């Protein structure tokens, strides 16, 4: 939509569409820098959303930076200090590495967490308006200069700003409006996602201080001690075709998964006060072009990875914050602002590519292999953080699951009594291209590379675009593969 900017048009420095993790995290540094920030959200909070709901220490530290941690802790969440991974007779249990003085993770339902984030951003000075539905982005001279939205009374309003941030999720209206709806790379997810809350039968024991990962057959299970203290979130990352069973008969499907994983079944035995089962099979991973003239996409609007990595909210909070920090000193200089947005996007990609490829590999609904089990076993027998750094993002995945671990795991798998050595060698040969392609993409392929990798699977989709955009820029100001400009301080 083009606009003549009538006198009735409202003006701000930044308008953000979406006020959950990424939107509020971006708003706080901008208002702290003295800018007028308007945040529009179609929801009225508290409002729930599908999510793993989990933050490990690296993510909890982002709540602290934002100023939201005290509000969150007032909800009395369990503090999980350890990660336990179980795969048959293989068990790894590690204490998390501290970040910013925080050595625990938390799991808070999104209706409670996101309300805390909204109130924190409001307290900082952001103007957050609920029940406001954005309809289009306003353009002038090929640059995003604002949005048109409907207020809670259904009245159409227009607001102009120096920067438009889309933090409005996978089906981002802003992404469609800036001609970035179709991702430039992605991967079909072979897994679905089903979860429910319940009273934790292990409350008061050491297991209530552990985030559990259970690998069995073709399913990965999670137990995440939650809010308030004494509750637990149980998750099944199952083959995508199993989701239909959770929708037709959720209790029968739930019991079937427990029957297939006796270790997780024992962890949850005796649980009472079961919540409703929620599920989805819409989990394709992707990267969208996430910055352009006067606009940026934050959180799931720009990038999404499989939730088994437990990093979605952490990345939304961290890179929302970094977006706000990058834009704040440059809002009054369009050229410097656009350069800073491109640098921010590249930094986000470098930070997330390892977990993107890890998630793609974990989203294959294949039976647990002897090779993978033995590689995981090389991390067993220590208390300090190592394998848990994959979730805690202390290091890139390829630096954690190193060639040394891979070779040791392969040798151990081949030496196990009764091992099918031919099958194990075949597994190893199948994993090698995935290892190389993930590392290559991160280290060599460059910004916004569209070069395919072996970790990605075709036929992915992020659903239908939310209506035709009102305006398409004549040209992509930063085409795929373009160099990222330097940013003056």
Residue in this structure with the two tokens 């291209």, named with its chain if needed: 433
> What predicted TM-score, i.e. pTM, was given to this entire model?
0.93
Q: How far is CA 17 from the centre of its chain?
A: 18
Q: Please give the pLDDT value at position 483.
A: 46
Alpha helices by DSSP H, 385-461: 389-392, 397-400, 403-415, 421-443
Residue with tokens 């930094």: 347
pLDDT reported for residue 466: 73
Task: Give the model's pLDDT for residue 7.
Answer: 55
CB 231 within 8 Å of CB 199: yes
CA-only gyration radius of the chain, Å = 23
For tokens 């590249």, what's the residue? 346
Residues 413, 170: Cα–Cα separation, whole Å: 40
Alpha-carbon span 23 to 25, nearest angstrom: 5
Collapse the DSSP code of 78 into the 3-class scheme (helix H, G, I; strand E, B; otherwise coil) and give the result. Answer: coil
Tokens found for residue 25: 């995290």
What was the pLDDT predicted at 310? 87
Per-residue pLDDT of the chain (489 residues; tens, 9 = 90+): 655 445 589 999 999 999 999 999 999 999 999 999 999 999 988 878 878 789 999 999 999 999 999 999 999 999 999 999 999 889 999 999 999 999 999 999 999 999 999 999 999 999 999 999 999 999 999 999 999 999 999 999 999 999 999 999 999 999 999 999 999 999 999 999 999 999 999 999 999 999 999 999 899 999 999 998 899 999 999 999 999 999 999 999 999 999 999 999 999 999 999 999 999 998 999 999 999 999 999 999 999 998 888 899 999 999 999 999 999 999 999 999 999 999 999 999 999 999 999 999 999 988 888 899 999 999 998 777 899 999 998 888 888 998 999 999 999 999 999 999 999 999 999 999 999 999 999 999 999 999 999 999 999 988 777 765 554 443 333 333 344 444 444
């Amino acid at each position: 939509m083009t606009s003549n900017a009538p006198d009735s048009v409202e003006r701000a420095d930044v308008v953000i569409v979406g006020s959950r993790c990424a939107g509020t995290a971006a708003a706080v540094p901008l208002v702290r820098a003295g800018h007028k920030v308007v945040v529009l959200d179609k929801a009225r909070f508290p409002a729930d959303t599908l999510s793993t709901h989990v933050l490990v220490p690296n993510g909890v530290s982002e709540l602290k930076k934002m100023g939201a941690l005290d509000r969150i802790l007032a909800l009395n969440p369990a503090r999980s200090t350890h990660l336990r991974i179980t795969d048959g007779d293989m068990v790894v249990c590690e204490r998390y590495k501290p970040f910013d003085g925080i050595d625990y993770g938390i799991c808070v339902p999104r209706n409670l967490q996101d309300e805390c984030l909204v109130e924190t951003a409001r307290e900082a000075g952001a103007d957050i308006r609920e029940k406001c539905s954005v309809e289009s982005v306003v353009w002038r001279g090929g640059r995003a200069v604002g949005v048109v939205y409907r207020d809670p009374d259904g009245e159409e309003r227009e607001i102009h700003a120096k920067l438009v941030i889309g933090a409005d999720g996978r089906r981002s209206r802003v992404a469609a409006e800036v001609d970035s709806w179709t991702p430039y790379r992605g991967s079909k997810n072979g897994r679905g996602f089903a979860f429910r809350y319940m009273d934790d039968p292990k409350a008061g024991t050491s297991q209530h201080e552990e985030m559990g990962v259970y690998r069995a057959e073709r399913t990965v299970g999670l137990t995440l001690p939650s809010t308030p203290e004494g509750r637990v979130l149980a998750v099944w990352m199952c083959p995508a075709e199993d989701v239909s069973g959770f929708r037709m008969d959720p209790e029968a499907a739930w019991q079937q998964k427990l029957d297939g994983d006796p270790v997780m079944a024992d962890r949850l035995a005796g649980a009472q006060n079961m919540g409703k089962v929620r599920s989805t099979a819409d989990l394709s991973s992707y990267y969208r072009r996430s910055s352009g003239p006067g606009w940026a996409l934050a959180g799931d609007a720009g990038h999404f990875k499989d939730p088994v990595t437990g990093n979605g909210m952490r990345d939304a909070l961290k890179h929302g914050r970094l977006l706000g920090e990058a834009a704040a000193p440059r809002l009054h200089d369009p050229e410097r602002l656009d350069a800073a947005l491109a640098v921010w996007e590249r930094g986000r990609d470098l930070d997330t590519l390892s977990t993107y490829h890890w998630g793609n590999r974990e989203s294959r609904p294949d039976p647990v292999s002897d090779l993978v089990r033995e590689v995981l076993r090389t991390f067993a027998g220590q208390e300090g953080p190592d394998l848990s750094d994959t979730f805690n993002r202390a290091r890139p995945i390829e630096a954690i699951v190193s060639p040394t671990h891979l070779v040791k795991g392969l040798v151990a798998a081949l030496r196990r009594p009764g091992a099918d050595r031919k099958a194990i060698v075949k597994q190893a040969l199948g994993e090698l291209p995935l290892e190389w392609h993930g590392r290559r993409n991160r280290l060599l392929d460059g910004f916004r590379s569209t070069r395919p990798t072996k970790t990605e699977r075709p036929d992915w989709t992020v659903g239908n675009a939310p209506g035709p955009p009102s305006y398409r820029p004549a040209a992509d100001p930063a085409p795929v593969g373009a160099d990222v400009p330097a940013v003056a301080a």
